[in-house]
Amino acid sequence: MSKVSRRQALKLLGATGAVAAAGTIPTMAQQASAMPNGAGFYRFKLGDFTLTVLSDGQTPPGNAFPNWGANPGRQAEFEAALRENFLEPTQFINNFNPMVIDTGRAKILIDTGRGQAGQLLNNLANAGLRPADINIVFITHGHGDHIGGLVRDGQPVFANAQHVIGETELQFWLSQATPPANLVALRDRFTRVRPGAEIAPGVTAVDTPGHTVGHLAVQVTSGGRTLWHLGDAGGHYILSLRFPDHYLGFDNNPQQAVATRARLWQAAAAERIMVVGYHFAWPGVGYVRRAGNAYEFVPAFFTF
């Protein structure tokens, strides 16, 4: 091959006049190393609806336990299961996976991430969406990594949206001695719903208590297909399926959380329901299948 001239290199790289004048031409490797791994969103179809999972980023590596497996005396067993799945328990990385449902009539955002500590708004923009485009914000529960993006500088981030939350969930958090500031700020904007309520045509709230007292997952149905965004009702994508009695250190009612997950896994496996887990490995989209007396998560085929 003949050598590429400086003029051709500049043209190929799309370099600006300023870069050319400075005499600095970034190599392809330098350009790639400066970019994040992926654009922070995963878009796919469910019937006539378009679903977009948005990454709110990840935590730095840390210890998985006890938070990700709080059963007394079970950590060694849980650690072995993680290592069997090529995960190092002392280098555990947590994901945060909100999702937008575009029904063609409304754009519904499920949970808002961590706020300024997260990447939701950046990745929303990468997906071609603005906060003003969101018509409904649905909150699965009141933990900070789900409500952190509701408010910025005292104002709602999704100013055009109707805000929806479970009645039991909101009442619980507002009754605390120090309620979450973001819920207090928007308490008069929230539409309070009960399990089974229709959030929008084809989108309903699912009763999934245990992680919190009034946790609600979201069911999406279109074109004969069904998906559940589990919020935190799904727990951990390996441990909560492999070990029927597994629970998290931040489950409000461990026994109830375990019972809720058992019900979800049984139905998802039997009915081939697609699921999205808020803390599952990115992008958190897949299926549940039986594995002996327990279950396992099967990631959906990734399509570009």
Q: What is the mean pLDDT of residues 20-47?
A: 66
CA-CA distance, 272 to 226, in Å (whole number)? 8
- Residue 153 Cα to chain centre, angstroms: 24
Quote the CA–CA distance of 90 and 107 in Å, as a whole number: 38
State residue 77 phi and psi, 5-degree precision. -65, -40
From residue 17, alpha-carbon distances to 11, 26, 218, 297 in Å are 11, 14, 50, 51
242-249 average pLDDT score: 97
CA distance 16 to 13: 9
Token pair belonging to 248: 């998290």
Q: What is the structure's pLDDT at 20?
A: 37
pLDDT tens digits along 192-208:
999 999 999 999 999 99
11 has pLDDT over 50: no
Asked if residues 228 and 275 have their Cβ atoms less than 8 Å apart, the reply is yes
State the pLDDT at residue 27. Answer: 63
The pLDDT tens digits for 256-291 are 999 999 999 999 999 999 999 999 999 999 999 999
Structure-token match 């069911």, residue found? 219
Instruction: Sketch out the chain's domains with CATH numbers.
Output: 41-299 (3.60.15.10)
- Closest by Cα among 86, 87, 101 to 137: 101
Rounded Cα distance, 291 and 273, in Å: 16
Phi, psi for 242 (deg, rounded to 5): -70, -35
C-beta of residue 145 within 8 angstroms of C-beta of residue 112: no
Q: Across the chain, what does the average pLDDT equal?
A: 91
State which amino acid sits at residue 27.
T
Flag whether pLDDT at 21 surpasses 50.
Answer: no
Task: Inform me whether the pLDDT recorded for 2 exceeds 50.
Answer: no
Cβ–Cβ under 8 Å, residues 107 and 131: no
